[in-house]
Amino acid sequence: MNSVDLAFLPALEQARLIRNKDISPLELAEIYLERIERLNPALGAYVTVMAEQALADARAKTEHLASNPENLPPLFGVTVSVKDLNPVGGVPCAYGLKAACNLIAPEDDYIVSKLRQSGLIILGKTATSQLGSLPYTEPPGFPPARNPWNLDYTPGGSSGGGAAALAAGLCAISQGSDGGGSLRGPAFCCGLVGMKAARGRISFSPAGERLNGLAVNGPLGRTVADTAALLDVLSGYEAGDPYWLPDPEPSFLAGLDTPPRPLRIGYATRLDPIGEVDPICRQAIYETVQQVEDLGHRAEEVVFPNLKDLIDPFVVVWQSVLTEVDVPWVVMEKMNRWLYWRAWRINSGAYLRSVAKLQQVARQIVKFCQPYDVLILPVYMHPTIKVGEWKRLRSPQVLDNVINWVAPCPPFNASGQPALAIPRGFAPNGLPIGVQLVGRPADEATLLALAAQLEQVSPWSHQRPAFATKVGGT
């Protein structure tokens, strides 16, 4: 197996080769670091490459494997990338701010410690939009992150760097976060599996979550099983968490061994007041509906609740984080400055009314979803945009465009329900598209089981962007 095949091998398959001693963690880390050195300058996926730390960790794990080959965690020795919103001790954490690119994080974030404890090797920090606020990854002062399927297009955001890295074979699996689609959108743009876990599934320790329950850390994977395995790694309660869920039994990965019972599934291709989804994305939903019916599930078209009462309060809460972070507005990009001043003019009473309104709308969404085991919806309302496509627009126009693109994602950040983006083929321009599976509260397991069935019917992990398939030196 050549280095390209190894780089694109699913993470759990890599872990199996490691356990069988067919390849070592050090050999895999070296393959990825060579690929990062060669491809990242054009891709902009990583903002910090932790080559020395990764190699030292890989050597230690290779030595450990020689003397302790038993009882290894499922992802032992596999490589992972970390989003540059999550601190890694001793490494810069810039949050997409050029002014902060030399600030060294004093300690690991909680989920970074979970990655280490699971035996994963961290290759580096991946690009995010500035302060994680936008669905494309073009922070001023950094190269824009680009989509490996076509470098003229965005990999999405704000977890765009992690998605670009994974889709290009620059890591085996990626960590990201999702406060309004920031995992599901990049998965859609790059042909990956992206999970927004249920609220309370993954701790935000030691920092506060800041967005009143909207945001959650989570996994990006090439396959459903890889995504489930990383979700198992990240999940768990930490003392003092404001909300939490018990660990699943069995684990999310083990749960994939049991196919789901026949499910009642709803689907929609229209989200008012935005309107009908783009025809390319609509066709992906129809094809998915046909496949789930062929698998023995029952699907019916539904009229999703109108989102008009969600949009304004969601924006109020979402933009408020820009006034909460300890960052002077003068170092922010144009769009974030505009959002900062909008947020600054809103008093605490208006903010709390927006929170209360979000909770009311969230109750309506959960109540609507309750009769269905799963909903099939768009991820985004239209296919991927180009890098810099909205750069020259006025900030209010950018906000309208963002709302009209990402509309299917925020409802489930508000409701706290789990939601999973899965690949569903390609648009005529060669860029990936996907659909979103939404579950009942705390029921990631059913989403993963259904997605695994769909993956068996229409496998996707063998697809590779031409940009990333050349062997080094050729």
What pLDDT, on a 0 to 100 scale, did the predictor assign at position 210?
81
3 state DSSP class of 48: strand
| Sheet of strand 264-267: strand arrangement | 46-49, 121-126, 79-83, 173-178, 216-221, 193-196, 419-426, 432-439, 374-378, 264-267, 298-301
Q: How far apart are CA 156 and CA 160, in angstroms?
A: 5
What pLDDT, on a 0 to 100 scale, did the predictor assign at position 289?
98
> What is this structure's pTM?
0.97
Q: Does the annotation mark 177 as catalytic? A: no
Q: How far apart are CA 67 and CA 367, in angstroms?
A: 54
Q: Which residues pair with 375 in a beta bridge?
A: 266, 438
Q: How far is CA 306 from CA 181, 310, 404, 422, 438, in A?
A: 18, 9, 14, 24, 17
Q: Does the annotation mark 158 as catalytic? A: yes
Amino acid letter at 192? L
Q: Are 82 and 125 in contact (CB under 8 A)?
A: yes
What pLDDT, on a 0 to 100 scale, did the predictor assign at position 457?
96
What pLDDT, on a 0 to 100 scale, did the predictor assign at position 208?
80
What pLDDT, on a 0 to 100 scale, did the predictor assign at position 474?
41
Q: Does the annotation mark 125 as catalytic? A: no
3 state DSSP class of 34: helix
Q: Are 398 and 348 in contact (CB under 8 A)?
A: no
Long-range contacts of 51-57 (CB under 8 A, 24+ apart): 51/124, 53/90, 53/91, 53/122, 54/29, 54/79, 54/121, 54/122, 54/123, 54/124, 55/26, 55/29, 55/30, 57/25, 57/29, 57/121, 57/122
Q: Are 274 and 310 in contact (CB under 8 A)?
A: no
Q: How far apart are CA 8 and CA 159, in angstroms?
A: 20
What pLDDT, on a 0 to 100 scale, did the predictor assign at position 325?
87
Question: Which of 61, 83, 114, 196 is labelled catalytic?
Answer: 83
Question: Which of 24, 133, 182, 320 is labelled catalytic?
Answer: 182
Q: Which domains does the chain have, with CATH numbers?
A: 3-468 (3.90.1300.10)
Q: Are 377 and 304 in contact (CB under 8 A)?
A: yes
Q: Which residues pair with 219 in a beta bridge?
A: 175
Question: Which of 81, 118, 129, 158 is labelled catalytic?
Answer: 158
User: What is the residue-level pLDDT of the chain in tens, covering all 474 positions?
Assistant: 899 999 999 999 999 999 999 999 999 999 999 999 999 999 999 999 999 999 999 999 999 998 888 889 999 999 999 999 999 999 999 999 999 999 999 999 999 999 999 999 999 999 999 999 999 999 999 999 999 999 999 999 999 999 999 999 999 999 999 999 999 999 999 999 999 999 999 999 998 888 989 999 999 999 999 999 999 999 999 999 999 999 999 999 999 999 999 999 999 999 999 999 999 999 999 999 999 999 999 999 999 999 999 999 999 999 999 998 889 999 999 999 999 999 999 999 999 999 999 999 999 999 999 999 999 999 999 999 999 999 999 999 999 999 999 999 999 999 999 999 999 999 999 999 999 999 999 999 999 999 999 999 999 999 999 999 987 644
Q: Which residues of 384-415 are buried (b: 16+ CB within 10 A; e: fewer)?
A: bbebeebeeeebeebbeebbebbbbbbbbbbb
